[in-house]
Structure 1
Amino acid sequence: MRLTRRTFGLGAAFSLVAGKSIARMAVGSGTLTTVSDGYLVLPADFTLGALPEADRSMAREIAGITGDTVETPCNLTLYQDGERTILFDAGSGANFMPSAGTILDSLEAAGVAPEDVTDVVFTHAHPDHIWGVLDDFDEPLFSEATHHIGQDEVDYWLNPATVDEIGEARASFAVGARNRLEAISDGLNTFSDGDTVVPGVVARATYGHTPGHMAFMVSDTALIVGDAIGNGHLALQKPGWASGADQDVEAGIVTRQALLAELADTGLLMVGFHLPAGGLGRIEAAGDGYRFLEEAS
């Protein structure tokens, strides 16, 4: 595997440490690092299920789906500026999927202990982003951290009606989110679109994947997009196609198209939770869609 400066931007590095992928580069006055939380094994319909039957064959070809399941990487982001160690999302923990929940090993490989984390900032409260916030004893894993989540997102998951309205396939998502948000409620800070969450980190509403999904601009240099851009294939080549992963499919399309156009126009560094090569890279227009500039062949 050969990586280029064009792939990650000036000063970036990518390596394998203790078997955990780490991508790192200087951003503003600090360092942005992505670490692996493992990967998810999802039913193919999770990607294809919202598409008309006529589009599914092409979608399978674009996404490289040959069977009934899809594997997708999970990238967690650290930003360290000398005063704070900020973790964006907390991963899956031990109870979601056996292929995921490797955050502790990955943080150790990056030289970070859970108690070093000063802030945990959530893009949203799906299992692969928030279930890892508790340890094996259902206590907050990041014991010294303040936890931050968008007000619209926390209102949605704490609404008692959500578990009945979200659909049977996602009912466990609602139960798990509520349990974890209640467990960290004493140290939970909420915010809205445009707010400064912590110094240098500004929230951007990117609703659709969930009702309160947020992205984060870091030091006016890098945009952490969470699941607003959900993969490195269909989301880029066919951003106007529906994603079965989005709870509000139409809002997800609008958000995704606007984000990709902005990223391609500005050349901003970005981090995608489910994108390849640690998720750290840039977006470039390509025909009717886009491509993610990552590792070179």
Structure 2
Amino acid sequence: MTATLTVLTAGYVGPRTASTVSLLRDGDTVVVVDPGMVADRRLILGPLADAGVAPEQVTDVVFSHHHPDHTLNAALFPAARYHDHWAIYEDDLWIDRPADGFALSPSIRLAATPGHTPEDISTLAETADGLVVLTHLWWSAEGPVEDPYATDPAALHTSRRAILDLAPALVVPGHGTAFVPTADTPS
């Protein structure tokens, strides 16, 4: 199996802030990554409907980290399991597990990528076009080279290098449009 990616809304940072919100599908697994701040919830729900998915059909939600700009709209998906760096949450169940290497489906797994926060994780999806990485290691294709909010800049650069060493076909950053990594991608 291979996963498919749909970017529901591309985020941005400036006078206003929005998270990049993405949809991954792999068989019966339907994942929304970083359902955070957007100018209007219709910017998530409209593209989701256009993709043929109702909010109740979302099986999993992944938080790259716990900042509100990446989590604010989590409640839009009432039937989902929620994933962060150390657990799965479903209804009143809290199931401890490390995220690193955890598989949501045959083609979608999580990876620990600390730096922006100690708890950051990235979502890795094997697609027909190659590996896609959904991550907050970069805000956009341009970086920033130095994340001004990184709690551990050295860990951030180590995590970036580890992701780039996987030779992803596409990176979906936390606050920008998806990009193809190049030799100029900040590591």
The normalised TM-score by structure 1 is: 0.53
Distance in 1, matches of 2:91 and 2:118, equals 20
- Would you say 1:34 and 2:7 are equivalent positions? yes
Could you tell me whether the CA contact under 8 Å between 2:19 and 2:35 is conserved in 1?
A: no
Mark the CA change 1:194 to 1:226 in structure 2 (over 3 Å): closer, same or farther: same
Pick one of 127, 132, 147 that aligns with 2:82. 147
Mark the CA change 1:145 to 1:206 in structure 2 (over 3 Å): closer, same or farther: same
Shift of 1:212: 1.0
- Would you say 1:206 and 2:179 are equivalent positions? no
Mark the CA change 1:204 to 1:227 in structure 2 (over 3 Å): closer, same or farther: same
Letter in 1 for 2:53: V
Q: Percent identity?
A: 30
Mark the CA change 1:185 to 1:247 in structure 2 (over 3 Å): closer, same or farther: farther
Aligned length: 182
Letter in 1 for 2:159: T
Residue pairs, 1:14-163, within 5 angstroms: 28-36=1-9, 39-42=12-15, 74-92=19-37, 99=39, 101=41, 102-134=43-75, 141-151=76-86
- Measured against aligned partners, the alpha-carbon deviations of 1:61-90 in whole angstroms (never above 9, x if no partner) come to xxxxxxxxxx66632121123312111122
Could you tell me whether the CA contact under 8 Å between 1:146 and 1:189 is conserved in 2?
A: no
Residue pairs, 1:181-196, within 5 angstroms: 186-192=92-98, 193-196=100-103
Query: 1:227 maps to which residue?
Result: 136
**What are structure 2's unaligned runs of at least 5 residues?**
none
Instruction: Give the 4+ runs in structure 1 shifted more than 6 A.
Output: none
**What are structure 1's unaligned runs of at least 5 residues?**
1-27, 43-70, 94-98, 135-140, 155-180, 292-297
Query: 1:96 maps to which residue?
Result: none
Shift of 1:248: 2.3
Mark the CA change 1:86 to 1:267 in structure 2 (over 3 Å): closer, same or farther: closer
Could you tell me whether the CA contact under 8 Å between 1:107 and 1:113 is conserved in 2?
A: yes
Pick one of 256, 264, 287 that aligns with 2:160. 256
The normalised TM-score by structure 2 is: 0.79
Could you tell me whether the CA contact under 8 Å between 2:11 and 2:174 is conserved in 1?
A: no
Q: CA-atom RMSD, angstroms? A: 2.9
Larger radius of gyration: 1
Mark the CA change 1:234 to 1:267 in structure 2 (over 3 Å): closer, same or farther: closer
Distance in 2, matches of 1:259 and 1:290, equals 11
Distance in 2, matches of 1:72 and 1:115, equals 26
Distance in 2, matches of 1:234 and 1:91, equals 20
Letter in 1 for 2:59: T
